[in-house]
Structure 1
Amino acid sequence: MADARSTPESLPPAFLEFLQENGLDPMMYSMADTIPRYIRLKPGMEAQIPEIQSELKCHLDKVSWLPDFYAIPPQIYGIDAASGAAVLALDVQPGEHVLDLCAAPGAKLCMLADMLGGRGSLTGVDVAKHRLAACRTMLQKYSLGDCCRLFVADGTSFSILPVNSSLGSGEGSTCLKDNGSTLSEWTSKRSWKDRQKSKKARTAGSPHLTSTSEPELIYYGKHSGLVGLRKCDALRPSADDEAQTSGYDKVLVDAECTHDGSIKHIQKFEFWGWKTLDQRVLDAERTDDLHHLQLRLLTNGFKLLKTGGSLVYSTCSLTVAQNENVVQQFLCKHSSAELQKIDSADSWPCRSGSIFKTLRFDPATSQTSGLFVAKFTKLQI
């Protein structure tokens, strides 16, 4: 079997140049064998740890600085502790309305659902339907979907706010009288019309929505507020400034990035081929597009946040361009945005970003994959 470790000598020159341009140490890619994998245990299940250890045939080492997280051998897949820290930074409380704007593949979505404790609502959005379907499977598998709804949509233009309870009684409805089909309890069985619609989409060969596509609702729990609601109300886009008072309490924007901070991800290119890395990570045009996308995702997530609410922006890139630069550009354009100190981070093994109150996880400092975290609040202007 090939050695899984990437050393500076084994990395392609183009990637080494990318690291040098961004002030990143290539030696971190040789640390893969020393970085644990992590799992998150459902709260209240601590008594089952011996049984889990027996089933996995390994010991779970409790992560002292992050509740419900345990380090496991690298052969077992879980959720990285740095990713869990980004979710914990939101400080989600039961009863709040929470938006995960880039929800796939779903581990953070499940953690958010656990934090809500079956109260409030959780909205997951992703542009890739097959990846969001995996989120749906996870929510159902772990019985976390009752208060959730999932939309296949472009996160840069998604504009559906939390369910307004007044709509459930028909007050304030935007539906025409002859267009009032109501949503019954969700079922995995699809109508002939929906199957034909999916077939046409596959034939067209477009795996992603365009920014002008209407969001597609692919799941909603029985306590999501949608059962009994008319479909046109469930898909109603928000009006200008409506989110100020009726928006989400908490928003997570874990944005698409080059993934250069994910050591395990970069290792895969040894098997996929370093040329693939050039196309997916180092291509200048794609990188420029990513910066634009990240800023648009952050901007739209903030637009959907209610006044006084909190938003966390994170990426698993270690480059300044995808992190501090995006934050700086965003702050310059939005006077109602203010960076917040992440109080729970006082005990976290991370360091400050180059902008005060932002945080950086990296393999050497944190024994985790790389992650950048910034927390904002929306001020009353």
Structure 2
Amino acid sequence: MKRLLVLVVALAMLGLVLGGCGGEEKKAEQVLKIGTMSPLTGPYAADGNDIRQGTEIAVEVMKEQGGIPGFSDIVVVPEDSACDPKQAVAAANKLINDKVNAVVGAYCSSSTIPASETLAEESIIMLTPASTNPKVTERGLPYMFRTCGRDDHQGPAAVKFMKDVEGVKSIFIVDDKTTYSQGLADGVAAAAKEAGIEVLEHDHVNQGDKDYSAVLTKVKAANPDLFYISLQNSATGALMVIQAKRMGIKAILMGQDAVYHPKLIEIAKGDAEGMFCTFGAIDKNAPAYKDFLSKYTAKTGNEPGAYSAYSFDSAMAYMMAVKAAGTTDPAKVRDALIQLKFTGASKEISYNDKGDSGSNYTVYQIKGGKFVPYWNSLTGEKY
């Protein structure tokens, strides 16, 4: 009898241990972890925190909609890439160790490209809301997706605007030698030459520079019709705009999507008035954007940054794909992402087999201290 009692107790204890292990495993599986990778500190922190906040708001919205069946919670795990390739890889490894299911990021293409290689080794889906260099989705990585546009679309759109709308005959190009900025600038230079626009010079500055007098002296002497500024963020773009105006440069000023940010206007103020920037078309009068805007401002107290809506849509796309697939299995979620079509805060979202969601670049002009849509690259017409 005693032996039987001991056996029963032992089996009961074993059941508790096994049940406890199984319960812990099930609980871990119920939490969907979405990592973010963006520059949270340093000169690119404004854009990086926009990406983090956009993802956080997407998670809040999904929870408000009832969450995802099979998951008791959805959490965001942010990591700082600092727009540095080595730190981005370190951030990717941290997210892997944190067992995230997917990553929204990064900001700089020079960070996204190496970090995505690390995440690919673990079959972790990555959706970038901001990295526009064509190589991001041209390397055959099955789990790499891009919600924003591509520079091989942005560059030609900018040049078409220069020629067809502004009648530009000559340009001077400056970049900061980063993967994104120089890659885009090279594309603009090639498209300009093909369009018959003379590239007077294509010069470079260094990240972290604060005095641009040397290159701006060259710009003034060259006297181009248009001065094309391809820098990694709005703060450095604003500094170059301020110094260009003070030096008396009369050329049309034009920037790209990294320069397009409320911070540009906040810092440069009146010096930025009249400047043009290319950025993906976002209908800010659309109901989906207005819903996103109200939630974003309520949470942050600020207007959305350039990539906030793209980040929101990237996170929503992943969660909707998980919901549709009924699993976090990367292959099944990838298939669901490819089949996905929905109206996002930024645009109509759908991804092709490469992971791209398409480009529709708009030229914005700064008027009255705001970015105002000026020209649509698809229709070729002014707003």
Whether TM exceeds 0.5 here: the answer is no
Report the structure, 1 or 2, having the larger helix content: 2
Category of TM-score, reference length = shorter chain: under 0.3
- TM-score, normalization by structure 1: 0.25
Greater C-alpha Rg: 2
- TM-score, normalization by structure 2: 0.25
